[in-house]
Amino acid sequence: MIEPSLALYGDAYARVDGHIQELLDTTGVRYGLLVDRKGFVLSHKEALWAPRPPALDSVATLVASNAAATAALANMLGERTFSEQIHQGENGTLYVESVGDSALLTLIFDVSVPLGKVKVYAKKTVAQLSAILEELKDIPPVQFTEDFSHGASALLDDLLG
């Protein structure tokens, strides 16, 4: 079934935010994002001391495509998926872990942060986040009316002429 991914913010996402912030505080990670498998940012947090993050839309898209590509690789190797990916550079690390089947927790941190520590705490956060995402599945989908369609069309006219 194809449908536009609809991210409902509010209470559930306030809790997601809280868990990501907590992870950032305990580990010293710079940026923490929850990205869905289609490449949309569901939630993000950055450490107060960290410099401005790179374009998060681009990060999310690349992380999701990367995960999709490695999942295809995993299938070829007889795995269902690779749940965890670590990309290590000279100055920093990108750590991605699956949260359930639909999202990815993405953490970006520099060399001063030990990877082992991040892994330990991230696992805990992943469990909390997947519980929240699980709850969200039961929320009834939002109903859109004709007005919505008209309003959106008007905006389209503005944007595209």
Residues interacting with other proteins, by CB under 8 A? 1-10, 13-14, 17, 37-41, 43-44, 55-58, 61-62, 65, 68-69, 72, 141-149, 151-153, 155-161
DSSP string of 83-138, one letter each residue = -EEEEE-SSEEEEEEEETTTEEEEEEEETTS-HHHHHHHHHHHHHHHHHHHHHHTT
Report, in Å, the least distance between residue 120 CB and other proteins: 27
Task: Considering the complex, state which of residue 17 and residue 84 has its C-beta at the smaller distance from other proteins.
Answer: 17
Task: Considering the complex, state which of residue 4 and residue 78 has its C-beta at the smaller distance from other proteins.
Answer: 4
Q: Tell me, rounded to whole angstroms, the distance of Cα 82 from its chain centroid.
A: 16
SS (H, E, C) 42-85: EEEEECCCCCCCCCHHHHHHHHHHHHHHHHHHHHHCCCCCCCEE
Q: Rounded CA gap, 80 and 71, in Å?
A: 7
Q: At what angle do helices 11-27 and 115-136 cross, to 10 degrees?
A: 170
Report, in Å, the least distance between residue 93 CB and other proteins: 21
Report, in Å, the least distance between residue 148 CB and other proteins: 5
Structure tokens at 46: 């950055």
Task: Considering the complex, state which of residue 30 and residue 113 has its C-beta at the smaller distance from other proteins.
Answer: 30
Report, in Å, the least distance between residue 115 CB and other proteins: 27
Task: Considering the complex, state which of residue 25 and residue 114 has its C-beta at the smaller distance from other proteins.
Answer: 25
Task: Considering the complex, state which of residue 78 and residue 116 has its C-beta at the smaller distance from other proteins.
Answer: 78
Report, in Å, the least distance between residue 38 CB and other proteins: 4
